[in-house]
Amino acid sequence: MKKSFLIFCLSLLTTLGYSQLYKTVKIDTLISVTLPSVYTKKDTAGQQTLSAKASYGFIVVTRIPNAANNAPLKKEKDLNKVFKNYVKDVQQVGNGTILNERDTLIGTVKGHLFTLKTQDDNGDVQYRQFLFIYSRDASYTFQYFYNDAQSELIGADTKPFYSSIKLQPDLQRNDQYLVPSKPGMSGGVKLIVYGGSGAIIILLLISTLIHRKKRQAAGE
């Protein structure tokens, strides 16, 4: 009981201070997210990576432009295949176990949520939460890293982080594939998420290296 109350108090204090210590950051003209006021941003060949230390974990947000010469996605099942391939690549590169995999809606846009569980040589368990969003022009990944010891506290970080993701009205579900799968959905021109798995692997390696550097700097 005392442990639960302590966790509640810590989460409440973190949530109350969130608006003071965090700021809204535009990923591009279509998507914005709230990040810790101190964050780093790298732009390499159009691929953006934003990273920051949160209260109980580490945040990495990435944007990768889609190749202009890729064929458009036609149906929702094609989008699901993109999600499936992305999760597969994450699991292979991260050499871990996929947990809590599911679809979600942000506005009218479909995203994919899952968690990668890994274990280092010392037996320590780490987790990486992923929210992957595909759009016509670019693909976005919102990641949250945390250790097993922080698992009961991370809600103070993850709830406001993921709920702060805002999409402009110009970005709709029908911007993801051509043929509507439900009544009321209209089509549009869509481009496939990647030209290959190479961009995914590079992205994962970059985010992993950033996280490791932050942990080393913190003396972990």
Which pLDDT tens digit goes with each residue over 98-137?
A: 999 999 999 889 999 999 999 999 999 999 999 999 998 8
DSSP state of 67: P
Q: pLDDT value at position 86?
A: 97
Q: pLDDT value at position 196?
A: 39
- Closest by CA to 106, choosing from 181, 34, 31, is 31
* Three-class DSSP category at 4: helix
- Closest by CA to 74, choosing from 195, 186, 180, 194, is 180
Phi, psi of 116 (to 5 degrees): -100, 125
Q: pLDDT value at position 151?
A: 92
Contact 96, 129 (CB under 8 A): no
Side chain identity at 208, as an amino acid letter? T
- Closest by CA to 59, choosing from 88, 28, 25, 86, is 25
Q: Which CATH class is domain 2-217?
A: alpha beta
- Closest by CA to 33, choosing from 17, 45, 50, is 50
Indicate the pTM of the whole model. 0.75
CB neighbour list of residue 144: distance below 8 Å, 6 or more residues apart: 54, 57, 58, 59, 128, 129, 154, 157, 158, 161
Which regions of the chain are under pLDDT 70?
A: 1-20, 182-220
